[in-house]
Amino acid sequence: MSKKPTDSSGISFTALYTGAVWHRHGLSDDALATEQGRWLYHLMSPFETASKAAIGGNIRTFLLQRHRIIDHLIAEAVVKNGVDQVLEIACGLSPRGIRLREKHPHLKMVEADLPDMATRKAARLLATGRLGENHQVTPMDILADSGNHALEAVIARTFDNTKPIVVVTEGLASYFSLDVITEFWQRLARALANRPGSVYLSESYLMPRQPLLRHSLKTLGGLLGTMTRSQVSFHFEDDQQAQDHFQACGFPSVRVYNPSEFYGLLPIPESRHDPMVRVVSARV
Ligand SMILES: C[S@@+](CC[C@H](N)C(=O)[O-])C[C@H]1O[C@@H](n2cnc3c(N)ncnc32)[C@H](O)[C@@H]1O
């Protein structure tokens, strides 16, 4: 059992990099672009180019794969299944809320993150006149067991609790050990259980089988863990293990998507080998 951390704010700066990637790829709004993000983007470019050449994929490849596939699955829930409430936990500087509200103005969009990041995001959205009853930013901490920042409190105070919700976490789960994130997943499944039709979308990274790649990724994960003061983890060995685990957490219906299923259908980059990222859709 790993000890549950109490403060995961060391992870927050990574949102600057992902924010810059969304912006560079035409997915974001100038209001969410940051100078630090631009700087990190340049700093990472040689490494990204080298990994693309060496292994046929890089961080930007899997970021764009996961982001577009999650968008696609949200759109499916909204358009096909009529869900009209979305909670994006660990929103960082993700432009998803802006894009979703532009495309589906009837949606209730709640973005949530640790207090500092939530304040920063709210200020940027407010400056563009985008915040209001149907587009909110709220402080939340997935590690909080009680109080205003706890998952259950956020859901109860921000949504119509008779209707289903799409809940997203992108770029969050892998910063925690499996024990710690499992506790959050179980709580989420319980919180959604009386809102049938709700769906949780997230990504997961599989440990590659190839020994050299496995070793390099473990080393990189360790480095990122030190930089973010977190327990960067690869939770599952394969799709089946991921599916079984989410079902055991309390989501009866789970589908694990491989980005390759969307090649040619969504505008996502293709990996040379089996992509290392998966998108998990877990329903109640
Ligand atoms: C890699 S960034 C991802 C941001 C955004 N989802 C994206 O894909 O661009 C990780 C985010 O997790 C947030 N975070 C870290 N610990 C958290 C916690 N305990 N509860 C909620 N959010 C957290 C950070 O503040 C940061 O915004």
What string of H, E and C letters represents the secondary structure of the chain? CCCCCCCCHHHCCHHHHHHHHHHHCCCCCHHHCCHHHHHHHHHHHHHHHHHHHHHCCCHHHHHHHHHHHHHHHHHHHHHCCCCCEEEEECCCCCCHHHHHHHHCCCCEEEEEECHHHHHHHHHHHHHCCCCECCEEEEECCCCCCCCCCCHHHHHHHHCCCCCCCEEEECCCHHHCCHHHHHHHHHHHHHHHCCCCCCEEEEEEEECCCCHHHHHHHHHHHHHHHHHHCCCCCCCECCHHHHHHHHHHHCCCEEEEECHHHHECCECCCCCCCCCCEEEEEEEC
11 C-alpha vs ligand 1 centroid, how far in Å?
Answer: 7
Q: What is the pLDDT of residue 215?
A: 86
pLDDT in tens, 98-152: 999 999 999 999 999 999 999 999 999 999 999 999 999 999 999 999 999 999 9
Q: What is the pLDDT of residue 54?
A: 83
Average pLDDT, the chain: 95
pTM assigned to the model: 0.96
Quick check: 30 pLDDT over 60? yes
Quick check: 1 pLDDT over 60? no
Residues in contact with ligand 1 (CB, 6 Å cut-off): 8, 11-12, 14-15, 18-19, 89-92, 94, 113-114, 117, 140-143, 170-172
In the chain, the domains with their CATH numbers are: 10-283 (3.40.50.150)
Q: What is the pLDDT of residue 77?
A: 98
Distance CA 29, CA 104 (A): 17
Distance CA 248, CA 254 (A): 10
- Ligand 1, residue 142: give the atom nearest the CA: 20
pLDDT in tens, 78-94: 999 999 999 999 999 99
Amino acid at residue number 254: V
37 C-alpha vs ligand 1 centroid, how far in Å?
Answer: 15
The token pair at 233 is 């983890």
10 C-alpha vs ligand 1 centroid, how far in Å?
Answer: 10
160 C-alpha vs ligand 1 centroid, how far in Å?
Answer: 24
